Chain A
Amino acid sequence: MGALGHFLEREGIPTVGISLVREHTETVRPPRALWVTFELGRPFGIPDDAAFQRRVMQGALDLFERTDGPLIADYPEHVAEEADFTGWACPINLAPGAGDTLAAEIDRLAAWYDRAIAAQGRTTVGVSGLDMPAAGKLVAAALQDSLPPAQPLKQAIDDLKAYYLEAASAFPDPGSSRTRKAWLWDETILARSLIALQPKLAASADAQHKILGNLTMIPATERHRLG
C-alpha cells in the first residue's frame, strides 16, 4: 500500500494513505499516512457507522495540506473489542451427522443465505462465477480426484466462505463476526474439507497449488488445525 503512495506522488498525484500496520508504514515511509488501530480488513473501523467512517476519512483527507512528510498521524479513536460471545452456539442445528456431505451442508445454508441477501440488499459471493453447489463439487472433486487448477479452486473456496459467513449473519441469533468465523472453522464440513485438502495441495508439484495450500486457503490463525 505504502509503495503506491511513492509511485503516484512521484508521478504528480498527491496521496494520503490509511495505515493498518504501523511498523510496515514506518519502513515504507509513504508521503502521508493516517494510522488506525482497527482490525485488518476494516480500514474505516465500524460497518454501518457512517459518522465514524466519515471522521476517519476527514482525518485522512486533512493530511493533504501537510508537506512535512513522510509523516504518520495517529488516528485518535479506537474500536472496542467485540463483546465476548463465549458460549455462543450456532442456533441452527447444522451439525454434520454421519454420512453428511458438503453438498448437503451447502444446501442447508441456502435459506439463510437468501435471508442475508434480503437483509443486506447485496452479496459479495460471485468471484468464481460458479453457483454454490458447483463450487462445493469442485472442492469435493479436489479431495477425491485429481486437483483442479489452483485459481478456479481458490475462487470457489473464497466464494464458499463468503456464502457461509453471509448465511450465518442471518441466523436468528447471529452472534458476532468473530463467533461466526469460529463456527465456520470449528463446525462445518467445508472447513474439514479444506483442512483435509491442505496436505494434498502442499504436496502438489504445481507452484500455484502450493501457494494455495500453504498461504491463501487457511488463515494463519487457523493453521493450528492442520495435522
Chain B
Amino acid sequence: MVKRLSDMPEVEAKHLARIECPTYDDTPLLAGKPLGQRRVALISTAGLHRRGDRPFQPGDGSYRVIPAETPAGDLVMSHISVNFDRTGFQQDLNVAFPIDRLRELAADGVVGSMASVHYAFMGAFPPEAAAPHAKHLAGLLKSDKVDAALLVPV
C-alpha cells in the first residue's frame, strides 16, 4: 500500500494539496552521538496543551510546555484544523504524543534519556510566525541538554 495524495479520497487530497508548504534553499544536518547517549524531546504540532493553558488560535506560531510528568488526562488538543482524526487521540494519547513509548525506550537504554520538558505547536502555523518561537525553543532544549528532537505531526 502506498498512500500518496493520489490514493486518498478526493476531498481529503484536495484539502491537503491546497496547503502551502515553505521551501528552503538548503537543509542543515547535524551529526551527533549514538542514540543510546542522546537526550530526546518530543515536539508535537498537534496543538496539545494542559487543560487550562491558553488554547491555540488561527495563525498562532507559539508553543505550549508539556512537562514529562504531565498526566495523560491533563492534556487537551486545540488544533484549529478539523481535517484529521481525533478519536485515536481520545482513545490513546500515545498514538499522537508517544510520551510513554519514549519513557520505555529511555528505561531500556535504547535512548540515553528523556527530556524533562516536551513541547507542542499547532501545526497550521505560518512558518514566519513560528520561526522566532522555534529559535527560543532551541535555547530551552539546549538548557535541558536535549540533543535529539522527535517532531510529531498530526
Contacts and interface: CB of A to CB of B under 8 A. Distances in A.
A165 interface: yes
A120 B72 CA distance: 10
B66 to A, nearest CB: 14
A14 B147 contact: yes
A41 B89 contact: yes
Contacts of A154: 80
Interface string A38-52: 011111111110100
Interface residues on A, range: 35 or more
A204 interface: no
Interface residues on B, range: 35 or more
A41 B28 contact: no
B123 A1 contact: yes
A197 interface: no
A23 B3 CA distance: 11
B148 A16 contact: yes
B55 A127 contact: yes
A57 interface: yes
A19 B153 contact: yes
A200 interface: no
Nearest to A78: B1
A42 B82 contact: no
A139 interface: no
A28 B21 CA distance: 6
A158 B78 contact: yes
Interface centre among A24, A69, A121, by most chain B C-beta atoms within 10 angstroms, is A24
Contact of A220 (B12, B94, B153): B12
Interface of A: 1-24, 27-32, 37, 39-48, 50, 53-54, 56-58, 60-62, 64-65, 67-70, 78, 120-127, 129, 151, 154-155, 158, 161-162, 165-166, 169, 177, 180-181, 208, 211, 215-221, 223-224
The 9 closest A-B pairs by CB, nearest first: A11-B138, A41-B85, A122-B73, A7-B134, A47-B92, A41-B84, A17-B151, A40-B84, A177-B87
Given A8-B151, A65-B34, 4 more contacts: A24-B16, A29-B24, A48-B95, A154-B80
